[in-house]
Amino acid sequence: MAAADSEVEILLVEDNADDVELTLHALRGENISNHIQVVRDGEEALDFIFARGSYAARNNSRPPKVILLDLKLPKVDGLDVLREVKKDTRTRPIPVVVLTSSREERDMVESYQLGVNSYIQKPVDFDQFRQTIKQLGLYWLVVNQPPPRNAFGSATKQGPV
């Protein structure tokens, strides 16, 4: 699914296979990106982002342009993934977009308190969902300027590993 490691543009964190298929279809539908990496639980997400565990061999030089994050995840919960990413200066600048069915206000509150860049509630209608994904993709991959290398902290400045 992903091209060379350093070319992952979108990291999709989603455990449900149907949701993965639907989101990928929407992303690919507009030829927004062919460089999408899918991880299926919170632990795998962190392993990928921090290039450790099962992804220890990954070249970490170029982080994804955006992380699409579901909240209900096995092993490590979505909010915990968000917390870890935003806590560590090595990863904090990476834009994180929560993509969830949840309508719970407290999920939104906590996400924003943890520093999420954007919070999207999946529309009930499929065509609207596709529109949303298209806008999302265009915005974060084309319109938005990804954080420059200087924005990322070095290994010495990180929090506890």
Q: Which residues contribute to the site for another protein (CB under 8 A)?
A: 16, 18-19, 21-22, 25, 30-31, 101-104, 122, 124, 126-127, 129, 138, 142
Nearest to 23 by CA among 14, 98, 31: 14
Buried b (16+ CB within 10 A) or exposed e, 102-127: beeeebbeebeebebbbbbebeeeee
What's the min distance (Å) between Cβ of 57 and another protein?
28
End-to-end CA distance of the chain: give it in Å, rounded: 28
- Closest to another protein by CB, 114 vs 133, is 133
- Closest to another protein by CB, 55 vs 140, is 140
Give CA–CA dist 140/97, Å, rounded: 9
- Closest to another protein by CB, 125 vs 149, is 125
Tokens standing for residue 74: 């096995």
- Closest to another protein by CB, 18 vs 61, is 18
What's the min distance (Å) between Cβ of 71 and another protein?
11
What's the min distance (Å) between Cβ of 8 and another protein?
18
Which amino acid, one-letter code, is at 54?
S
What's the min distance (Å) between Cβ of 75 and another protein?
18
